[in-house]
Amino acid sequence: MAKPIVAIVGRPNVGKSTLFNKIIGERRSIVEDTPGVTRDRIYADAEWNNRKFILIDTGGIEPKSEDTILKQMRMQAEIAVATADVIIFLCDVRAGLLADDKDIAVMLKKSGKPIILCVNKIDRIGEVPYEYYEFFELGFEREPIALSSLHGTGSGDLLDAIIEECDFPEEDDEDDSVINVAVIGKPNAGKSSIINRMCGEERMIVSDIAGTTRDAVDTLVENVYGKYNFIDTAGIRRKAKVEDRIEKFSVLRANMAVERADVCLLMIDGKDGITEQDEKIAGIAHEAGKACIIVVNKWDAVEKDNSTTKEVTAKIRTALAYMPYAPIIFVSAMTGQRVMNVYSMINDVHNAACHRVSTGMLNDVLNDAMTRVQPPSDRGKRLKIYYMTQTGVCPPTFVIFCNSEELFHFSYRRYIENCLRDTFGFEGTPIKLVIRQKGDKEGD
Ligand code: GDP
Ligand code: GDP
C-alpha cells in the first residue's frame, strides 16, 4: 500500500527539523542554530488518526558546500515537488515575510501540488503577531496555519490539514484482483494452445471481441491460483490468417495486448529456438515496463540431453540480454507438462511488480551499497547520492537524488539496481531508476 509523502520546505532556520521532530515524536534529527547543519535523518514514518504517511525534512538534504542558500532552497523545493504528495511550506514569523519566501512560494505553486503554508515560531498562545498577516500575501488558498514547533501548538491543525490533503489509498476493489495476462509471441509459438491448456474446464467467459477496437480476444478465468484475464493476441489470426503471417501485424497486436497487460507471457517456439522476431516482441514488453515470463513451448518436441535446458537458457539470456530479470520456464502446451506452474510464476512476478519498499529500507540498502563500492569520481569530484525513494509500481520506479547525473555512470547505476534486486527480489519485473541531479543548475 502506498503511503502518501509529505515534505517540509522552507528557508534555513525557520524550524523545519524542529517541526519534523515534533510530528514524528522523536528527536531524530539534530537541531542547531546554524543554518545548513547536517542532520542524521530526513524522512520518517508518521501517523495521525490512524492515517500513515511519510514525512521528509528537505532541510536535511546535505547541500554542497559551495551552494548558495538560494540554490539549496531551490534544490529542496524541487525534491519536495518531485516526490511529495503534499508540501508543508514553513515560514518564520520572527523574520517576517522575506523575498526568499516569495521565491519558494512561486516555485511551489507551479507544481500544482497541495501546499500547506505554516507560519512558525508563534509561541504565545492566543497572541497572533501582526507579522502573521503578512503571509496572506503569498496567496495560498488555505489560511496560513499558526505554529509553534517548539511548543507544539498548532500542530494538530497542521496534521488535520495534511490528512485532508492526502489521497489515502482505497481498499482493494474487486477488479484489482484480476491479473491481465498478455500472451505474446510469433505466430504458431503456441499462444492459443497454452491459453486453452491453462484455462481448460475453468474457463468462465470468452468474450470474442475481435474486430472491435480492442483487437484481441479476452478469456477470463478464476481458479485456485486466482483470477486472470488472458489477452490472446493470436485469437485474431484465425480471422485474418494471411495478414498475420506478416510480421508487422503480429508486432502491432503484441503492442496493443502488452499495453493492457499486468504480466506478459513471452511464448517461444522451442523447436525453433529464439529468433530475431522473438527479440523484437520481448522488447515491447520490456519497453512498456511490464513484468514478463519467458515460456519456452513445445518442449515435448525438442530432442534433449542433459545440457539442452542449459544451452537454450544461455542462448535466450544472450539474445534477450536486456531482460535478465525474466524467469524462464520450459513447457508443453500439448502434453500439459509444467503448464500449471506458470500460474504461480504469474502471481510471483505480478507481486514483484507491485511491491513497494519503504524509503527507510531503500536508504539503508543505498548506504550499504555506497559503503561497499564507493561512488565514482572524476577529476576530484565525487558522486554524492543524497537519498532515494520509490515513486511508483508496475514497474517499480525509484528516484535517486544526487549531485551529478554525469558522474552516475551506467555501471554504478547497474550496481545499485543489482543491490535492489539482491535485497528485494523484483524477479520478473523491470525496474526503473530515475536519476535527478539537484542543486547544480540554476533556473531549472
Ligand atoms: P531549519 O533550519 O528550518 O530546520 O530550523 P531548525 O528546526 O533547525 O530551527 C532553527 C532554530 O529555530 C532553532 O534554534 C530552533 O530551536 C528554533 N525554533 C524552531 N521552531 C521554533 C518555534 O516554534 N519557536 C521558537 N521560538 N523557536 C523555534
Ligand atoms: P499461436 O499461433 O501462437 O496461437 O499457436 P497455436 O496455439 O495455434 O499453435 C500452433 C501450432 O503448434 C499448432 O499446430 C499446435 O498444435 C502446435 N503446438 C502448440 N503447442 C505445442 C506443444 O507444446 N508441442 C507441440 N508439439 N506442438 C504444439
Q: Which amino acid is at 407?
A: L
Ligand 2 atom at minimal distance to the Cα of residue 331: 23
Cβ neighbourhood burial of 276 (10 Å; 0-12, 13-18, 19+): exposed
* Res. 244: pLDDT tops 50: no
Task: State the average pLDDT over residues 315-332.
Answer: 96
CB 121 less than 6 A from any atom of ligand 1: yes
- For the chain, which residues make up each domain, given as ranges? 5-165, 175-353, 359-437
212 by DSSP, 3-state: which?
coil
Q: Is 16 in the pocket of ligand 1 (CB under 6 A)?
A: yes
Residue-wise pLDDT for 25-58, tens only, equals 754 444 444 444 444 456 777 888 888 887 888 7
Cell of 307: 545440457
Q: What is the CATH number of domain 5-165?
A: 3.40.50.300
Tell me: pLDDT of 320 over 90.
Answer: yes
- Other beta carbons less than 10 A from residue 241's beta carbon: 10
Q: Of all protein residues, whose CA lies closest to atom 22 belonging to ligand 1?
A: 121
| Tens-digit pLDDT profile for residues 346-357 | 999 999 999 999
Cell of 371: 559503503
The C-alpha cell that represents 399 in the structure block: 528516484
Starting from the CA of residue 330, give the closest ligand.
2
Angle between the 99-110 and 69-83 helix axes, to the nearest 10 degrees? 30
Q: Whole-angstrom Cα distance, residue 335 to residue 300?
A: 7
**Which residue is closest in CA terms to ligand 1's atom 13?**
33
The pLDDT of residue 64 = 55
Can you read off the three cell numbers belonging to residue 358? 519503504
Is there a contact between 166 and 51 (Cβ–Cβ < 8 Å)?
Answer: yes
Exposed e or buried b per residue across 69-84, where buried means at least 16 C-beta atoms within 10 angstroms of its C-beta? eebbbbbbbbbbbbbb
Residue 28 vs residue 104, higher pLDDT: 104
Topology of domain 175-353, CATH: Rossmann fold (3.40.50)
Q: For the segment 185-240, what is each residue's pLDDT rounded down to a tens digit?
A: 888 898 888 988 898 755 543 444 333 333 345 788 888 899 998 886 653 344 44
Contact 296, 329 (CB under 8 A): yes
Which-ligand-closest: CA of 198? 2
Residue 308 cell numbers, joined: 539442452
| CATH of region 359-437, choose from 3.30.1330.10, 3.50.50.60, 3.40.30.10, 3.30.300.20 | 3.30.300.20
Task: Tell me if 33 CB under 6 Å of ligand 1.
Answer: yes
Euclidean distance between CA atoms 176 and 270, whole angstroms: 33
pLDDT of residue 258: 83
For the chain, the average pLDDT equals 82
Strands 291-297 and 328-330: what pairing? parallel
- Residue whose CA is closest, atom 10 of ligand 1? 13
pLDDT > 90 fraction of the chain, expressed in percent and rounded:
49
**CA of 52 relative to ligand 1 center, distance in Å:** 25
Q: Are strands 217-223 and 291-297 parallel, antiparallel or unpaired?
A: unpaired
Grid cell in block for residue 128? 497572533
Look up residue 67 and give its three cell numbers.
Answer: 551552494
For residue range 138-156, list pLDDT tens digits in order: 999 899 999 999 998 999 9
Q: Tell me, yes or no, if the two domains 175-353 and 359-437 fold the same way.
A: no
Which stretches within 246-340 are classed as H helix? 247-260, 276-287, 308-319
**pTM for the whole structure:** 0.60
